[in-house]
Amino acid sequence: MSFLARVPALWGGDDTKVWHAMRFFVAPATLWLAPSYGYGVERIPETGGLLLAANHFSGIDHPLIGVFVPRPVYFMAKAELFEIPVFGELLDWTGTFPVRRGEVDRDALRTARTVMREGRILALHVEGTRQRLGYPGPLQLGGLSLAILDDVPVVPCAVDTFRWSPTNRKRCAVVFGEPISLAGVGRGRGGSERAGEIVGAEIVRLWRLAIGAVRDGFPPVLPDGALRAGPTPPGWRPTRDPAAVV
């Protein structure tokens, strides 16, 4: 067993501890690479399992979303990332887990359902891959079907990170929507398609707000009432009081 594989024993295998510890270092680096604010953080439920359904443009999306969510986030990420030395170990420490793309990965699906059933946040880039044209693309319905099966809410999330790169450290924004219940859409293909229409439309709406937030210099409140927030430290609790905007 490698040294890196032994490291989790230092925190007793409790990935919530390492999540908050890594955020202390990752948040400043992420916001240096992508000067950003989050909006609508107060909409994220404080407890309970949920699916965080986000669009995907760039490599900064994972850490940028994690910076603003006040609870640990468990990402499903492509299996190839776990083959990268050191980086793959770091992903594993945070509870991120692999999915084999291009096939039905039953292990990944079981892990995803376990995360939500245990009252944690599962984050998925619901388009399945990065979008190269600058706007959100069609949704893959597998993740939404899991939310339907386990009756957990979906929190839509939009990032404006298109054309971000380490050499183009542009300003970005993350906007979270209100939780969406999919209890009434039904199961099966028809229910998943209806869920895709609902969630996809909301992601597009939030993405337009994210673009406007960057364009307007990060106003304290967006037109739909979402409040601006900085990185969320351990113990932080959301507020809907505009006077408390940071």
| Residue 103 located in a structural domain | yes
CA-nearest of 91, 84, 29, 95 to 60 is 29
Residue 70: predicted pLDDT: 87
Predicted confidence at residue 221, as pLDDT, reads: 96
Domains: count for the chain: 1
Q: Which residues contact 59 (CB under 8 A, 6 or more apart)?
A: 164, 165
Strands 121-125 and 50-54, bridge-based pairing: parallel
Exposure string of 115-125, with b = 16+ CB inside 10 Å and e = fewer, is bbeeebbbbbb
Q: Does residue 4 belong to any structural domain of this protein?
A: no
What is the spatial order of strands in the sheet that 73-78 belongs to? Answer: 97-99, 73-78, 121-125, 50-54, 154-160, 172-176, 36-39, 228-229
pLDDT in the model for residue 184: 86
* Residues contacting residue 24 through CB under 8 Å, at least 6 positions apart: none
Tens-level pLDDT at each residue, the chain (246 residues):
454 455 455 555 566 776 777 777 788 889 999 999 999 999 999 999 999 999 999 999 988 998 899 888 888 876 666 556 655 566 565 667 766 766 666 788 888 899 999 999 999 999 988 999 999 999 988 889 999 999 999 999 999 999 999 999 999 999 999 999 999 888 888 999 999 999 999 999 999 999 999 999 999 999 999 999 977 544 444 445 444 443
pTM of the model as a whole: 0.85
Question: For residue 47, what are the domain limits?
Answer: 10-226
Judge whether 237 lies within some domain.
no
CATH number at residue 144: 3.40.1130.10
Residue 232 included in any domain: no
Q: Please indicate, yes or no, if residue 180 is contained in any of the structural domains.
A: yes
Pair type for strands 154-160 and 172-176: antiparallel
